[in-house]
A and B are shown apart, each in its own frame.
Chain A
Amino acid sequence: MNLTLKIWRQKDSKTKGQMVDYKVTDISEHMSFLEMMDVLNEQLFAQGEEPVAFDHDCREGICGMCSMYINGEAHGPDRGITTCQLHMRMFNDGDTITIEPFRAAAFPVIKDLVVDRSAFDRIQQAGGYISVNTSGNTQDANSIPISKHAADEAMDAATCIGCGACVASCKNSSAMLFVGAKVSQYALLPQGQVEAADRVKNMVAQMDLEGFGNCTNTGACEVECPKGISLENIARMNRELLKASI
C-alpha cells in the first residue's frame, strides 16, 4: 500500500516541533507499524535526511518502549497491543496516518517521537518494591500460602509494562492506571503488606510531584492499555490510600 504520513518532527527538547508530511510506497500489510517506520527511515537516510527518532526495543510487546500516538490513539487503532504489534493491515491503501509522540507535561519530548518516561521510574523508586533480606536466610516464597484469586489478580497487575499508553490516552494525563497496577501487585500479596501504607502514600505523592493529572474515571486508559490492566486497580489504589491515611 501507499501511505501519507504526518509525523511530529522535533530536533531536541528545546526546539519547537512541527508536523511534516512524508510518503511511503509498497508497504506490505504484513509489516508491523515499526517496520513501516524502518522503511521510511531507510528512505530518508538514502535521501540524506535525518531519520525519524522513535523508541523501540523488544518488538514483541513486552518491553513497553515503543510509544507513538497514531491517528489519535496510543499504539494506534488496534486493542491489547503495543505499536510493535500493530499490523499495517489495520490501514488501507491511500490512508493518511498522523503520528505524534505521547503527550503529557510529565513526559517531555526528547526528539521527534521519543519521550522521556523516567517519571515512571521515579514513581517505582518511591515504593514499587518489597524490602527482602537476601543474606542467604531468605524464606522460600512458595512456603507462604496465597489464594489462587489473589495470586491471579496480583499477576494480572504485574503484567503492566510501564509503556505510558494510559497517560497518553487520558484526557487528564493521569498515571493512575500505571500506579494502581504497581500498587496492586504488592497490595494483593502477603509479602507486600509490611510496607503497604508507605508504598501507596509515597508512590501517589511522587506521581503528583511529577505533574500527572487526576483521574476522572473516563476509562480511556483501560481501553488503550496493551496489557488489559483494569480500572479495578485504580479503585484498589484509592482503597489502599484511604486505608493508609486513616
Chain B
Amino acid sequence: MALSAIFLMIFLIIHLAINFLSVFSPGLFNEASHFMGTNPLIQFGLQPVLLVGVLFHFIMGFVLEIKNKKARSTAYVKNNGAANSSWVSRNMIWSGAAILAFLALHFYDFWAPEINIKYFKGDMSGLLNPADVNSDFRYYQELVHKFADPVRVIAYVVAFVFLALHLLHGFASAFQSMGVSSIRKKQIQMGAKIYSIVLPLGFIFIAVYHYFNH
C-alpha cells in the first residue's frame, strides 16, 4: 500500500512538471508529450509499471477497507471519531473512490484516445495532420480542446480537491507504514502539507488556466 502510494506520488510530480510546460511553452509541452508517448522504454517499461501500481493501490485499498470493516462485527451505537482522529484519515476510502472515478474520466479523455491513435490506427507521428510532415504536434491542441468544456474543468477541480484530502492523510501515513522514525515527524508533516496542497493546486491551476485563456 505504502510503496505503491509513494510510487504514485513520485509519478504525479513528473506528471505535473510536464503539464506545467503547457502553460509556459506549447512547443516544449509538445516535445515532452511526444517523447513520453513514443519512447519505447517509457511506453513498454514504465507505463505498464504505472498501470499495475494504480491497479494494485486501489484494489488493495478496497481489500484493506473490507478486511478492516470485518474486524468490527458490531458497530457502536455512539462513536465519536472526531474526538481522536481527523476526518481525512477516517475517509480515505471515499477520497480514494473519488480519485478512482476521476481516473476513469481521465483515461477516457486522454489515455484511451492516445492508445487508439498510436497502437490501433498505427499513427506514431504525433502530428495534427500525419500526411503533412510540416504540421504541428497534436498534443497541445488536444489539451486545450479538452479544457474548453466548463463541466470537465469543474470535474477536474473537484477531483483534485479529493486528491488533496487523500494526500493530507496519505503522505505521512505512507512513511509511518514503512517504519520511518518519528524523529523526522515534523519534516514529514511539513512535507505532507506542502505536497498535498501545492501539487493538486498546480493541476487545478493548469486546468483553469487553459479554460480562461482559450
Chain A residues proximal to chain B, CB less than 8 Å: 6, 8, 19, 69, 71-73, 77, 98, 100, 103-106, 109, 169, 171-174, 211-220, 223-224, 230-232, 234-239, 241-242
Closest to B86 in A: A218
Total inter-chain residue pairs, C-beta < 8 Å:
111
Q: At the interface with chain A, which of B8-16, B72-80, B116-124?
A: B72-80
Q: Which of A19, A77, A213, A232 contacts B72 (CB 8 A)?
A: A213
Chain B residues proximal to chain A, CB less than 8 Å: 64, 67-68, 70-81, 83-86, 89-90, 92, 169, 172-173, 176-182
With a cutoff of 8 Å between Cβ atoms, the chain A residues found around residue B83 in the complex are 72-73, 77, 223
Q: Which of A77, A98, A211, A232 contacts B182 (CB 8 A)?
A: A232
* Interface contact B179-A72, CB-CB below 8 Å: no
Shortest beta-carbon distance, A137 to chain B, in Å?
Answer: 37
Q: Which of B84, B86, B172, B182 contacts A230 (CB 8 A)?
A: B182
Closest to A72 in B: B80
26 CB contacts below 8 A, A to B, read A72-B76, A72-B83, A98-B78, A100-B78, A103-B74, A109-B74, A171-B81, A171-B85, A172-B68, A172-B72, A173-B72, A174-B68, A213-B67, A213-B72, A214-B64, A214-B68, A215-B177, A217-B169, A218-B85, A218-B86, A220-B84, A223-B84, A232-B182, A236-B181, A237-B179, A238-B179
* Interface contact A234-B176, CB-CB below 8 Å: yes
Expressed in whole angstroms, the Cα–Cα distance for A241 and B74 within the complex equals 30
**Told that A19-B77, A73-B83, A239-B181 touch, could you supply 5 new A-B pairs with CB distance under 8 A?**
A6-B77, A72-B83, A103-B72, A174-B68, A217-B173
Expressed in whole angstroms, the Cα–Cα distance for A100 and B76 within the complex equals 7
With a cutoff of 8 Å between Cβ atoms, the chain A residues found around residue B72 in the complex are 103-105, 171-173, 213
Q: Which of B70, B76, B182 contacts A103 (CB 8 A)?
A: B76
